[in-house]
C-alpha cells in the first residue's frame, strides 16, 4: 500500500470516530462515577447525574452540526456551526460581519446549510450516547437498582442493535461535514 493510500485509510478511520460520540463518552465516563457516587445514589446524586446525561446529550446532538473549512484569503482553518442560512463561525476574529463573509461568498455559504442528513446523524449520535449512558453500571445502579431479568437482557443486547443501526445509517446517509476534531480536511 502506498503512503497516500495509507494516509487516506488512516484519516478515514480516524474520522469514523468523529461520527460517534467518543469525546462525549470519555467526558461522561470520567464524571459519572463521582456524580453518581459509584452507583450508590442518594437524591443529590440523581440530581447531579441527570443533568450530566442531559448536557452530554446536547453536546452529542449539536456536534453533528459543526463544520470547518480553510479560508480562501488567509488559508486559516475556520470552525463553525451550520445554520439554516449557512455557517456561523466560532473563530473568525478578524471579521467585520461576524460570519466569515470575507472568506466565503454567498454560494459557498449555501453549501454549509443544515440538511436532513445532519438531523439523521445528530439523532443517531444522540441515540448511541443515550444507550451507552443508560448501559453504564453507575447509571443502572443509581436509577434502576432492582432491574429484573428482562431489563438485564435488554441492557445487554440494546447496545449491539443500536450500534448496528447507527452504523447502517451513517453508511447509507454519509455526511460531508468536517466538524471540530477531524483530520486533515485538505484530503477530502
| Stated pTM of the model | 0.77
186 part of a folded domain:
no
- Summarised one tens digit per residue, pLDDT across range 119-130 is 998 999 899 999
Distance (Å, whole) CA 42 – CA 61: 29
Domain region containing 58: 4-172
pLDDT tens for residues 25-82? Answer: 889 999 999 999 998 989 999 999 999 999 999 998 988 888 887 777 777 777 888 8
Count the neighbouring beta carbons within 10 Å of the beta carbon of residue 134. 16
Cell 443517531 belongs to which residue? Answer: 124
Q: Is residue 58, in this structure, part of any structural domain at all? A: yes
Judged by DSSP in three states, 39 sits in: helix
Query: How large is the average pLDDT for residues 131-135?
Result: 90
For the chain, give the percent of residues with pLDDT over 90. 24
CB-hemisphere CA count at 13 Å for 184? Answer: 8
pLDDT of residue 90: 77
DSSP per residue over 85-149, as a string? SSEEESS-TT-SSSS-TTTS-HHHHHTTS--HHHHHHHHHHHHHHHHHHHTSHHHHHHH-TT--H
- Looking at the domain assignment, is residue 100 inside a domain? yes
Please say whether the beta carbons of 125 and 63 come within 8 A. yes
Count structural domains, the chain: 1
Kindly state whether residue 49 falls inside one of the protein's structural domains.
yes
CA 135: distance to chain centroid? 18
- pLDDT higher for 137 or 17? 137
pLDDT bin (cut points 50, 70, 90) of residue 12 is: very low
**Residue 177 falls within a domain, yes or no?**
no
In a domain, 185, yes or no: no
**59 domain-assigned:** yes
Amino acid at each position: 500500500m502506498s503512503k497516500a493510500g495509507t494516509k487516506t485509510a488512516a484519516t478515514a478511520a480516524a474520522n469514523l470516530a468523529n461520527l460517534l460520540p467518543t469525546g462525549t463518552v470519555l467526558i461522561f465516563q470520567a464524571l459519572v462515577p463521582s456524580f453518581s457516587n459509584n452507583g450508590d445514589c442518594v437524591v443529590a446524586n440523581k440530581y447531579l447525574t441527570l443533568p450530566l446525561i442531559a448536557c452530554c446529550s446536547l453536546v452529542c446532538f449539536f456536534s453533528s452540526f459543526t463544520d470547518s473549512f480553510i479560508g480562501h484569503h488567509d488559508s486559516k482553518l475556520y470552525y463553525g456551526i451550520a445554520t439554516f442560512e449557512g455557517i456561523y463561525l466560532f473563530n473568525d476574529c478578524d471579521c467585520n460581519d461576524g460570519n466569515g463573509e470575507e472568506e466565503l461568498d454567498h454560494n459557498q455559504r449555501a453549501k454549509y446549510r443544515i440538511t436532513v442528513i445532519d438531523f439523521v446523524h445528530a439523532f443517531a449520535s444522540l441515540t448511541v450516547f443515550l444507550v451507552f449512558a443508560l448501559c453504564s453500571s453507575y447509571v443502572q445502579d443509581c436509577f434502576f437498582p432492582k432491574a429484573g431479568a428482562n431489563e438485564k437482557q435488554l441492557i445487554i443486547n440494546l447496545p449491539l442493535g443500536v450500534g448496528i443501526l447507527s452504523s447502517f445509517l451513517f453508511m447509507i446517509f454519509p455526511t460531508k461535514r468536517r466538524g471540530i476534531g477531524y483530520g486533515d480536511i485538505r484530503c477530502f
